[in-house]
Amino acid sequence: MSTAEKIKSEDKFVSVDGLKLRYIEEGSGPSVLFLHGASLGSSADVFLRNLGPFAKAGFRAVSFDLPGFGLSDIPAKQSVAQQRSSIPKFIDAAGLGKTALIAHSRSGGFAVQLALEDPGRYSHVIILGTGSLLPPQTQEQVGRYEAVQARVDKEMAQKEPTMEDARKLLQADTFNHALISEEDVAIRHSRMIGRNFIAHQDRQNHDAPAGGAAQAKPLWQRLTELKVPLLMIFGREDRAHAGERAELLKRMHPEINLHIVNGCKHMVHWDAFEDLMRLGVPFLKS
């Protein structure tokens, strides 16, 4: 989908725990809440090309900036637990009712944990590229990606990113670079600088894993406990050997509705836009 075809949504705001949280939405019908990841510059805007098509399919499609991201307020003390708990609170504040969750990257862990804790609140869960919900990497797999990512994280923690840094970050996470418009780069850069850069630095110093405190059983081993319908989509070329690990999960649990898309990296909702529509819409209507 070209930039011209993306929706132009008006920013809206609700108050949650004294914080002003920004969201965008399109359409009417059953609620579908898109949840962005945790990398520098992540925001509701990464779903601009997705909200309109889901709205046309008959849904109220919503995406919001988690606390400390995008145009939402930044808590005095940021934490993963606060980000996770903001999701059901936002759902209530925005009047979404029973909601489907479409969660990208780290937010996939949030979605699964929330659905395990309170399945009655959520109609469906769709996971996009959440590596923590896959079997861990083997000793042979660990190394190359982590070294590259550690260098990127270190560089971005040292100085405020440039427009070219924003472009490189999007290119690293997207298989088809032709999908990345100048508008995409400009929006991402605007969400990476100023107060958002300072908030990111703070999170780098204090963040814990998305699942919170250490658990006896990792979330990826609890997927079959979910009482909410689950759909998982991963990119074959995603980082940290996600394609191989997703194949392993499919062999371990063939009952899980899991799909691996060729020519797709971490931005599953961009690279695999058509697959998300083809698989996701009938899934959400089932």
Q: Do residues 272 and 261 make contact, with C-beta atoms less than 8 angstroms apart?
A: yes
> pLDDT tens digits for 241-269?
999 999 999 999 999 999 999 999 999 99
Can you give the pLDDT at residue 260?
98
Q: Phi/psi at 250 (nearest 5 deg)?
A: -65, -40
Q: Which long-range contacts (CB under 8 A, 24 or more apart) does 52-58 make?
A: 52/5, 52/6, 52/7, 52/26, 52/27, 53/1, 53/277, 54/26, 54/27, 54/277, 54/280, 54/281, 55/7, 55/26, 55/27, 55/28, 56/27, 57/277, 57/281, 58/27, 58/29, 58/30, 58/285
Length of the chain: 286
Res 1 pLDDT > 60: no
C-alpha to C-alpha distance for 249 and 217, rounded to whole angstroms: 16
Measured in whole angstroms, the distance separating CA 234 from the mean position of its chain's CA atoms is 12
Q: Which carries the bigger pLDDT value, residue 212 or residue 162?
A: 162
Provide the mean pLDDT of the chain. 91
> pLDDT tens digits for 80-116?
999 999 999 999 999 999 999 999 999 999 999 999 9
Confidence bin at 204 (pLDDT 50/70/90) = confident
Q: Do residues 64 and 72 make contact, with C-beta atoms less than 8 angstroms apart?
A: yes
Fold of 3-285: Rossmann fold (3.40.50)
C-alpha to C-alpha distance for 286 and 1, rounded to whole angstroms: 26
- For residue 40, give the nearest of 203, 209, 208 by alpha carbon: 203
Can you give the pLDDT at residue 69?
98
DSSP 152: H
> pLDDT tens digits for 26-71?
999 999 999 999 999 999 999 999 999 999 999 999 999 999 999 9
**220-255 b/e (C-beta count within 10 Å ≥ 16 → b):** beebeebebbbbbbbbbebbbbbbebbbebbeeeee
Can you give the pLDDT at residue 220?
96
Confidence bin at 205 (pLDDT 50/70/90) = confident
Give the mean pLDDT of 219-241: 96
Can you give the pLDDT at residue 44?
98
> pLDDT tens digits for 148-190?
555 555 666 678 999 999 999 999 999 999 999 999 999 999 9
User: Residue 217 is encoded by which pair of tokens?
Assistant: 């059983």
Give the mean pLDDT of 9-38: 96
Res 2 pLDDT > 50: no
Percent of the chain with pLDDT over 70: 87
The full set of domain ranges for the chain reads 3-285
Can you give the pLDDT at residue 22?
98
User: Residue 133 is encoded by which pair of tokens?
Assistant: 């919900």
- For residue 223, give the nearest of 196, 195, 250, 256 by alpha carbon: 256
Res 272 pLDDT > 60: yes
Do the bridges between strand 19-26 and strand 12-16 make them parallel or antiparallel, or are there none, so unpaired?
antiparallel
- Model confidence, pTM: 0.92
Percent of the chain with pLDDT over 90: 82
Res 9 pLDDT > 90: no
Q: Phi/psi at 92 (nearest 5 deg)?
A: -65, -45
Can you give the pLDDT at residue 188?
97
Secondary structure tally for the chain: helices H, strands E: 10, 8
Q: Do residues 47 and 36 make contact, with C-beta atoms less than 8 angstroms apart?
A: yes
